[in-house]
A and B are shown apart, each in its own frame.
Chain A
Amino acid sequence: MPPILKISNLRKSYDGGFEALKGVSLEIEEGEIIALLGPNGAGKTTLISTVCGITTATAGSVTVGGHDIQTEYREARSMIGLVPQEIALEPFEKVINTVRFSRGLFGKSSKDEKLEQILRQLSLWDKKDSQIRELSGGMKRRVLIAKALAHEPRVLFLDEPTAGVDVELRKDMWDIVAGLKSDGVTIVLTTHYIEEAEAIADRIGVIAKGELLLVEDKAKLMARMGKKQLHVQLTEPIDALPASLKSEHVTLSEDGAELIYTYDTRGERTGITKLLAQVANEGLTLRDVVTRQSSLEDIFVDLVHEDKEAAA
């Protein structure tokens, strides 16, 4: 099946010469959730804005469902829903009217049962006649999602949907995303919360300084780069690693009080028993033993760090 969204060598530079996107290419399959992870100013919002038609690309192309966003913008945009990062709503408008307006803008007749279904799905039905200004911040975010879903899009862009929201609402938002996925909606979300990407995405793309550093299946990414470490804390610091312990997997901490052993949990043997036996043979006494699994956050920091080093 062809990808529902195909971004090819997308570039965006501004008049001042700032390059927000430096040739991003990405293919997204129908029905998946992809999280674009990156620090502030990485180009996540520019990427979304360009695909959605808010910003004009300097070069490159984007197709949605096979339709080019420039030459066949009507077909392409009809398939897209966008939930922006900032809450942008008419304060005096009623919830139901603003959602109806969104549906109309996309050329769909005002089907009240459809609007009801969307508002109920987002627990907004009771608030349908409330003015936007009377709603809480969380409810306003739901209204933004309802507006984006009003025309039944096949691809939904969520630009930092949980930026600045409390933990409970964040979990709520994740449930909503999971529900949309089960309805077959493809979801592209940007976030700088690693736990968010880890919790809900199928694939993860890492963006920094306008470049897509990698895109990979979340589980594979974790497995590929997810290392486990055993920290062996010693009662007496040592000056150097004993010869029997020297290997590429073992390092000594700077203060000499800790041996750090990196291993792969997927291996048949982890080598822990052998390591501990060697430690005992060397006459070292242990104070504590700790294991640590590297999280997506570590992977992310490593990637962005490597990128910076490469640039230097």
Chain B
Amino acid sequence: MNWTAIRAIYVFEMARFFRTIMQSLISPVLSTSLYFVVFGAAIGSRIDQVEGVSYGAFIVPGLIMLSVMTQAISNASFGIYFPKFIGTIYELLSAPISFLEIVMGYVGAAATKAMFIGVIILITAFFFVDIDIQHPLAMIAFLILTCLSFALFGFIIGIWAGNFEQLQLVPLLIVTPLVFLGGSFYSISMLPPVWQVISKFNPVVYLISGFRWSFFGTADVPIGISLLAIAAFTGICLAAIWWIFRTGWRIRD
């Protein structure tokens, strides 16, 4: 294993993040604060507790997930798409590194950035609402797994994308709706029965539910199923990446 190369990619990618540290941090902090003001304070004050938790606190896990998933995808997809776009991918392809090492470098960096933002949002949340995290270890584990799996997913999008529009397409058309409909701002039990059934096909429901369980000990779906769902999603992404690199799809002529 060429650890030096993995580290080189990781450091190079993180440098991009720190070059634009203000944008990287201010934007998620600002948007989260707005969510708290609008949903937590303005609307939340008219909503009773949800599953025994005040509405302001209830939306915290969903908000963190929303940012973490979109950040992991956008960072990882941009990270690998940009070298393709400007042509510097030649260097990755001609270096004595395996595809696994390339993935570890890019996905590792994208997951770290997403994790960083997730933690910042959690800290921001403490300024607005009282939160008591019941299962901190499970919370961290869920956060790490989500960051990693969505960074893997983002990496696939970055490899697939042929232009900047396509790069935005999947996050905008698929991920954002899935996250919004995945119970970020409500409990699935609040939906009409038909939509409850439909929601079961949304993989994000399981992630948000599991993450919320680590905060409040209550969940829409059993925690074991949540874990299974995230494991399955990670497995599918890994299999797709393995196939991409075995065939050189969209990378190597």
Interface size on B, residues (CB 8 A): 26
For B16, B91, B92, the residue with the greatest tally of chain A CB atoms inside 10 Å of its CB is: B91
Contact indicator per residue, chain A 80-101, by CB within 8 Å of chain B (1) or not (0) = 1010101011111100010011
The one of B5, B11, B87, B93 that contacts A106, using a Cβ cutoff of 8 Å? B5
Query: Which residues of the other chain, B, contact A93 by a CB distance below 8 angstroms?
Result: 12, 15
CA distance A49 to B11 in the complex (A): 27
A189 to chain B minimum Cβ distance, whole angstroms, is 16
- Tell me the bound Cα distance from A152 to B39 in angstroms: 58
The answer to the question of B165 belonging to the interface, with a C-beta cut-off of 8 Å to chain A, is: no
- Would A54 and B4 count as touching, CB distance under 8 A? no
Contact A90 B88 (CB under 8 A): yes
Q: Which of B19, B87, B90 has the most CB of A within 10 A?
A: B90
The docked-state distance in angstroms from the alpha carbon of A173 to that of B94 is 23
Interface flag for A52 (CB, 8 Å): yes
Q: Which of B1-59 contact A (CB under 8 A)?
A: 2, 4-5, 7-9, 11-12, 15-16, 19
Interchain CB contact under 8 A, A74 and B5: no
Q: Given that A74-B96, A89-B88 are contacting pairs, would A55 and B253 also be in contact in the complex, using a CB cutoff of 8 Å?
A: yes
Q: Which residues in B have their C-beta under 8 angstroms from that of A109?
A: 4
Contacts of A82 in B (CB 8 A): 90-91, 94
Q: CA–CA, A53 to B98, complex, Å?
A: 11
In chain A between 33 and 59, which residues have their CB closer than 8 angstroms to a CB of chain B?
49, 52-56
Q: Is A107 an interface residue (CB 8 A)?
A: yes
Known: A54-B90, A88-B88, A88-B90. A77 touches B4 (CB 8 A): no
Residue A11 at the B interface, CB < 8 A? no
Q: Known contacts being A75-B96, A88-B86, A97-B15, is A147 close to B91, with CB within 8 Å?
A: yes
Contact between B5 and A105 (Cβ–Cβ < 8 Å)? yes
Q: How many residues on the A side are at the interface (Cβ–Cβ under 8 A)?
A: 35
**B248 contacts the other chain (CB 8 A):** yes
State whether A97 touches B12 (Cβ < 8 A): yes
Q: Which residues of B contact A73 (CB under 8 A)?
A: 96
A53 touching B94, Cβ below 8 Å: yes
| A102 interface contact, C-beta 8 A | yes
Shortest CB distance B54–A (Å): 44
CB of B94 within 8 A of CB of A52, answer yes
CB distance from A130 to the nearest CB of B (A): 15
**Are A90 and B86 CB-contacts (below 8 A) given A104-B5, A107-B2, A107-B4?**
yes
CA distance A106 to B61 in the complex (A): 41
A151 to chain B, nearest CB (A): 9
Q: B2 touching A56 by the CB < 8 A rule? A: no
Residue B95 lies at the interface, judged by CB distance under 8 Å to chain A: yes
A103-B95 Cα distance, complex, nearest whole Å: 10
Separation of A77 and B101 alpha carbons in the complex (Å): 15
Tell yes or no: A78 within 8 A of B by CB.
yes
Contacts A56-B248, A78-B96, A107-B2; is A101 near B87 (CB within 8 Å)?
no
A96 to chain B, nearest CB (A): 12
The answer to whether the Cβ of A108 comes within 8 Å of any Cβ in the partner chain is: yes
Q: Which one of B2, B87, B88, B92 lies within 8 Å of A74 (CB-CB)?
A: B2
Tell me, rounded to whole Å, the shortest Cβ–Cβ distance linking B125 to chain A.
32
Q: Which residues of A contact B87 (CB under 8 A)?
A: 84, 86, 88
* 0/1 interface trace, chain B 94-115, chain A, CB 8 Å (1 if under): 1111000000000000000000
CB distance from B21 to the nearest CB of A (A): 14
Q: Which residue of B lies closest to A50 (CB)?
A: B253
**How near does chain B come to A287, taking the closest CB pair, in angstroms?**
56
Judging by beta carbons under 8 Å apart, are A54 and B8 in contact? no
Q: Cβ of A147: which chain B residues have Cβ within 8 Å of it? A: 91
CA distance A100 to B4 in the complex (A): 11
| Neighbour of A105 across the interface among B86, B95, B248, B252, CB < 8 A | B95
Chain A: minimal CB distance from B3 (Å): 8
Q: Which residues of B contact A103 (CB under 8 A)?
A: 8
Interface-central residue, B12, B95, B248, by most chain A CB under 10 Å: B95
Which residues in B have their C-beta under 8 angstroms from that of A91? 86
B97 A105 Cβ-Cβ under 8 A: yes
Which of chain B's residues have a CB closer than 8 A to the CB of A75?
A: 96
Report if A54-B93 is in contact (Cβ < 8 Å); known contacts: A74-B2, A97-B12, A101-B12: yes
Interface residues of B in 229-253 (CB under 8 A from A): 248, 252-253
Minimum C-beta distance from B80 to chain A (A): 13
Bound-state Cα–Cα, A74 to B96, Å: 4
B252 touches A54 (CB 8 A): yes
Q: Given the complex, which residues of A lie within 8 Å of B12, measured CB to CB?
A: 93, 97, 101, 104
Across the A-B interface, give the 4 residue pairs with the lowest CB-CB distance, nearest first.
A104-B8, A88-B87, A74-B96, A105-B95
Known: A14-B253, A107-B2. 7 other contacts (CB 8 A): A74-B96, A89-B86, A89-B88, A90-B86, A90-B88, A97-B15, A105-B97
Q: List 16 A-B contacts (CB under 8 A).
A: A53-B94, A54-B90, A73-B96, A88-B86, A89-B86, A90-B82, A90-B86, A92-B16, A100-B8, A102-B91, A104-B8, A105-B5, A105-B97, A106-B96, A107-B2, A107-B4
